[in-house]
Structure 1
Amino acid sequence: MRRRRITAKAPIENHRMIDLTEHAEIWPQVATDKALANVEFVSADPNRDLDFQDIVAAITGDALSNILARCGWSVTREFYVNDSGLQADAFARSVYALLCAQKSGGKDLAHVEVSRFTSELIRHIQEQHSGDFDQQPEAVWLHKLRAITVDFSLASIRKQFHDFGITIDVFTHESQVMVPPRPDDMLRQLLDRGLAYTVEDAAGAGPVQPPRTLFATRRFGDTEDRPLTTAMGTWTYFMSDVLYHKNKVDRGFNGLVTIFRADYAAYVDRILACIQAFGQDKIDLAKIHVMDPVSEQLTPEKADRIKLCFTPRQLRWLLLSRPPGQPIDLDVSPETVAAADAFLARLDHLCDRAPDDISGTAEAGHGKDLGKLSALLSAWEDVVRQCLEDMELHALCEYLRALSLCLHELRSYQDEARDREIAAGRKILSEVSQALGIA
């Protein structure tokens, strides 16, 4: 990913001045009149709390959503709940086994490692649904228990989002996306359009191993065609992706942005191929941002320590300003906390002071600082557009840091001719800090 460093060049004459009228719009309006963006982030299996990488994705997706909204998009923030298929059933069965073992005295649990989330879920079921699953066949309890685990997980996830000031507009469930006959109808449509075809395995197809059906995603830039059915005749996970992204296009979104964990990087080409297949002449923005991986040294214990040591506001700033390509890890030290505090305090001071409160005398070097300010104001729109192009917030954070330092150095400057530039810089500072969620 391309890095963009914000530097203060020589003063630029006739640079673009930010309009400071009452209803001025400082953000470049890059979207069309009917710009509907869907930003999907933190999609997860509902069998655990959010881990640290999920928190990073949530903060990143929330900030990108804010910036898109300020640049003219009407944004829907979406969470995709992976509550269907073998994994969801397997977790429900494991919970049922734990319930049965505890009911029989817990002897079978001596060597079973149970997570905090699962322990709380078991306690919740025992308190709220005692006896609901006694003497019932799996065909009855599996569906009910899976629904309970999903609801419990989403309640926990919503609370964690609330703690970080993040709002999700829509929770879309995979189980709803894959409800029959939607997968069959989708397969027929793809076959009718010549976008899917069947192949037999090398061993030959038969009653036990029917031919597989593949989506011709290579036509749309993928590295290979992707199977929609397995050799056993069941749907692949990719079929739910196909239905889900077709659903997004059908809902009228012409901007699709997805935040992927690093371990989902292999999905990028196939998802973009889906969007291309269904959204030709409909999609103006299709971006997938793959986060940097979590450092191997970032153990769950250290991740918990990070969340305890930093406030949500400090954590937002430290994560969003992390240079691209740097593994997700944070130095849990008093120096790191103090540095974040110092920057945020300076930001608060600059955003809270009215322009006419600036007093004092000019200090040595202020002429050069005014040149920096002119250059930064000139670079503002390019920085925002580059941020949206790369889906990378580091450049915007670097701009914020440079602008705040420049305005801090000019805090005692008095020059009526330059007041407008200083006021423009302060307005950008306030707007950016709000968009990043650190205001």
Structure 2
Amino acid sequence: MALLPDAPIETMADHLAAGGGEGLENAIALDPDEVIAEITESGLRGRGGAGFPTGAKWASVSGQPDLGDVYLVCNAAEGEPGTYKDRALIAANPFQLVEGVLIAAYAIGARGAVIAVKARHTHHVARLEQAIDAAVAAGWRGADRVELVTGPDEYLFGEEKAMLEVIEGKNPMPRILPPYMQGLFATMDRPNPTAVNNVETLSHVACILRDGAAAWRSEGTEGAPGTLVFTVTGDVPRPGVYELPLGTSLRTLICELAGAEEPRWIISGTSNTVITPDLLDLPMDFDSFAEAGTGLGSGGFVVYGADRDPVQVTTALAEFLAVESCGQCNACQLGTAAMADHLHALDEGRGGPEDLEGIRGWLPHVTDANRCYLPVGAQLTIGSMLDEFGEAFAARAAGAGAVPAEHRAPVPKIESLTEGHATFDPDYHRKRRDWSYADEG
């Protein structure tokens, strides 16, 4: 039931030889409602971060002709720090993804489907174009109504409401209403409900319809069936992309597979509280992480060792969030910027207790009237780092010097992850809060 093959699937013929196409064939032999029932029975939960039941999402947009046209969107605009799984899946087998897209589009009665990906990911764009063209040539039902849309590098392109804006030719600015209420090309009298699923979720769909819900549930846990594709980077000897059954312990991934010896702390993107070593034996599933007060996110973990400074790392992550804020919500625009500025003062050795007070003052309010999850991530990430490493922040506020350059960690925005080597975006340090880039040097 694994999504990641031992070697990339290079052609449609290779995909078919490995059982590809059977899921779509099985799906179109059923009524659309029966396909949704099969996905519901599988217990598939979204792999984009929230873990929402996929069958329930599909059911919420299907069978409502009085609300206009239904659309399906595949979110392939991966950009969460520390995450590389969607690009790994596209590189390994884009045909499986396209098959899952077509199954989902059939199930919800979609007029059309869109796969949205960042233009800068040129290899992945080419692989998706290859797979869509091959599906059309193979006569796969609905393949001629799948569109590939490329978009900007901004973090918020991956936010589902902002993604719809990009598909419509606008900037990645999150809407107020979710896609099932205001979908693609919506008007006042035709809201066009839209389902948005990510790459991994839709890739699983092809497997479920090929082998059946019961077989797919043989991996994972009762509440979180199946496998999940994890990314591990940071201070580990074996960074990489690992596919494991949900419910596997965090220690297995971080220590046994990635090789971390003494992680000081771990982050799961910029949308959750910090993970400390006492949680290493936590089962990796949505509910266990939530009960522990953190989140599984999109399965991307960045590990920090003993020589990393929590003030410097928090500053880098806070600046990322301040830069990527779209500015539509005043509390987010002002709060993320203010907290990042206070952290820069502390990190550079020119701050004091007033900077800690300033950060604490903004944390409860940065989410006021928020349209998206970015300021919530700022609240959770920054607040939990201050709580967990209070002594380090207090020492910096009292005049402790900045950490040496060789111990400073960059923003973990992954550019590539191949053969056990992770490369972070080399230009991100130049990105400014208006989304422009400063000149090098």
- When normalised by structure 2's length, the TM-score is 0.28
Higher relative contact order (CA 8 A, sep 6+): 1
From the CA coordinates, give the structure whose radius of gyration is larger: 1
